[in-house]
Amino acid sequence: MKLHGKTIVITGASSGIGGEVARLARFHGAHVIGVDRNDPMVTLDGFVRMDLGDPAAIDAGLAFLPAQIDGLVNAAGVPGTVDRDVVARVNYLGLRHLTEQLLPRMPKGASIVNITSILGAEWPHRLDLHKQLSATTSFAAGKAWLDANPVPQDTCYQYFKEALIVWTKKRSGVLFMQHDIRMNAVAPGPVFTPILGDFVSMLGQERVERDATLMKRPALADEIAGPIVFLLSDAARWVVGANLPIDGGIEAAYA
C-alpha cells in the first residue's frame, strides 16, 4: 500500500473516517491535503477550508488545491437528520462537482474513492431514477432534477448513498477506459464517529436493535481507512467500479 510520491486530497479530513485516512495515507508516504469546513484535528501537509454544499465555494477553493492530484477521497458527508437539501448538496451534488472539476489534474493511474454506506444497498430498486440523476451534467442541473423529483426527508440519506453508488459505477467505466483513472467506493456499516448518534435517531430504535444482532460492534474509523488506502494504491490498479462493503459482515447477514 505504498503511496510515496502521491498527492492525495481528502474531503472531510478534519475528523472521523477522513481523518483516519489522512493519518494512514501520510504514514504510507503520501502528501495529504485536507478539505473541510472545520479546522483539522490531524496532521496534514495542507488544508483548504471549503463548504462542499456550495458550488461557488468549491470553485473558489480549487485555486488552493495542487496542480497534480494522484488520489481523491470523498469522505465528507452529513447525516439524514439535517435538511434533505443539505444532504443532497453535500453527499452527492457537491461531491460530484468537486470530483469532476479535479479530473483534469489527475494523471493516468490516479484513484478516486467515494464513501457510500450499507444503507445504500437497495440502489437496484431505484436504478432508473438514479441513472436519470447521474445523467445530469452539472450541480445546477442535478439540483433542478431533484426539485422536480423530490426525495422524502426520512429516507434522503439512504437515497443519496444509493445515487452515489450508481454514479460511481457508471462514471468509473468511462474514466478508466478513456483516462486510466480508477473510481471505486467503500460502503461502511455503523462507525464510531461524531455523527453515529445521528444515525441512531435517523433509523429508529427498532432498526438499530435489529442491526445490532447482526454485528459484533460498530467499526472504528481506522478499520475503514485501511481498505480505502489500499484502493488509493497501485496494488489496486485493476479494481474499478467496486462498492466494497466494510461492515463486519452485516450485508452478508441479510443474504
Locate the domains of the chain by residue range. 7-245
Give the integer Cα–Cα distance in Å for 169 and 29: 29
pLDDT tens for each residue of the chain, 255 residues long: 689 999 999 999 999 999 999 999 999 999 999 999 999 999 999 999 999 999 999 999 999 999 999 999 999 999 999 999 999 999 999 999 999 999 999 999 999 999 999 999 999 999 999 999 999 999 999 999 999 999 999 999 999 999 999 999 999 999 999 999 999 999 999 898 876 676 677 777 677 677 778 888 889 999 999 999 999 999 999 999 999 999 999 888 877
DSSP 77-137: ---TTS-HHHHHIIIIIHHHHHHHHHGGGPPTT-EEEEE--GGGTTGGGGHHHHHHHHH--
Give the three cell numbers for residue 49.
Answer: 477550508
Per DSSP, 73 falls in state: E
- Cell output for 166: 450508481
Q: What is the pLDDT of residue 217?
A: 87
187 phi and psi angles, rounded to 5 deg: -120, 90
Does an H or E element contain 157, and which? helix 156-179
Task: Tell me the one-letter amino acid at 91.
Answer: N
**From CA 144, how far away is CA 90, in angstroms rounded?**
16
Instruction: Respond yes or no: is residue 92 known to be catalytic.
Output: no
- Using DSSP's 3-state secondary structure scheme, residue 71 falls into strand
CA 229 to each of CA 6, 63, 73, 238: distance values in angstroms, whole numbers, following the listed order = 12, 26, 9, 15
pLDDT (0 to 100) of residue 193: 80
How many whole angstroms separate alpha carbon 26 and alpha carbon 186?
20
Distances from the Cα of 109 to the Cα of 45, 103, 123, 200, 220, angstroms: 22, 12, 28, 39, 29
CATH class of 7-245: alpha beta
The total number of residues shown for the chain amounts to 255
H or E element, residue 49:
strand 46-49
Q: Which residue of the set 92, 157, 159, 254 is catalytic?
A: 157
Q: Are 70 and 31 in contact (CB under 8 A)?
A: no
Residue 1: its pLDDT value, please? Answer: 62
Looking at residue 115, its pLDDT comes to 98
